[in-house]
Amino acid sequence: MGLIHNELRRAGNIQSALQNALGMKEGGLERAGETMTPIMNLWELPEWQVLRNETPGAARVSQAAVPAEFSIVALVNPAVNANMIVVVEQAGFQGTGGNGGHLEMALESQAVATLGAGAATVSRDRRVPSICRTTTRTGSDPAATLGGQPIDTVLPIAAGCKINFDALPVILIPGQALAIIIATVNVGGIFMFKFRERVALPGELLSKT
């Protein structure tokens, strides 16, 4: 049987996702952009993330107060995940005392050097493995930094109030981390992240200089 006229033959997740969303398990797509009504937006519905091989994840991590030290939690895209991208959509915390906080871009090596292993991150889609490949690190340090680059700061607020940072989304390539640092010593907290992880498409993992 011959090829479909003007068949779209691009290989990869997007082509497969479009076919799966339409229930087209066999054959190709013919001039999809001109002949399909209504428009199929593969990024519109959260349940279609799995069709693009994306896993929505979340982390809730606690860190106890340490005298004379700043509490820190980092979300890490491990270097061993050599071809994975993590898109952090939300990051925030709730402190045990009056506090402010910083959001900092850092290297995985900086997080590992200062922080211990944290809680696992979990998938928000029960159709895929419940544990994500993105990890967390927790701990404290006398310096209010991992030695990375600050990208957001929130002013001090009362104990028990939840803080959400504005400088998001953040995209982490393998070997990178995003850290939340409580800007007051001897204050613990609960730290929250919301993210998506997926295998990078060709050309997405640009070299860092």
Burial, 59: exposed, middle or buried (Cβ in 10 Å; 0-12, 13-18, 19+)?
buried
Task: Tell me the residue type at 208.
Answer: K
Question: Helices H, strands E: what count in the chain?
Answer: 3, 14
- Which position has the token pair 């005298």? 67
Q: Enter the tokens of residue 176.
A: 């990178």
pTM above 0.85, yes or no: no
Q: Does residue 137 contact residue 120 with C-beta atoms inside 8 Å?
A: no
**pLDDT, position 1:** 46
Nearest to 90 by CA among 153, 149, 155, 168: 168
Which residues have C-beta within 8 Å of that of residue 39, sequence separation ≥ 6? none
pLDDT value, residue 55: 96
Strand partners, 153: 102
Buried residues in 95-127 as b, exposed as e (16+ CB within 10 A): bbbebbbbbbbbbbebbbebbeebeebbbbeee
Is residue 177 packed enough to be buried (19+ CB in 10 Å), middle (13-18) or exposed (0-12)?
buried
Per-residue pLDDT of the chain (209 residues; tens, 9 = 90+): 445 555 555 556 777 777 777 666 665 555 555 555 557 788 888 998 988 889 999 999 999 999 999 999 999 999 998 999 999 999 999 999 988 999 999 999 999 999 999 999 999 999 999 999 999 999 999 999 999 999 999 988 888 889 899 999 999 999 999 999 999 999 999 999 999 999 998 888 876 54
User: In this structure, what token pair is assigned to residue 140?
Assistant: 């404290």
Cβ-contact 136, 121 below 8 angstroms: yes
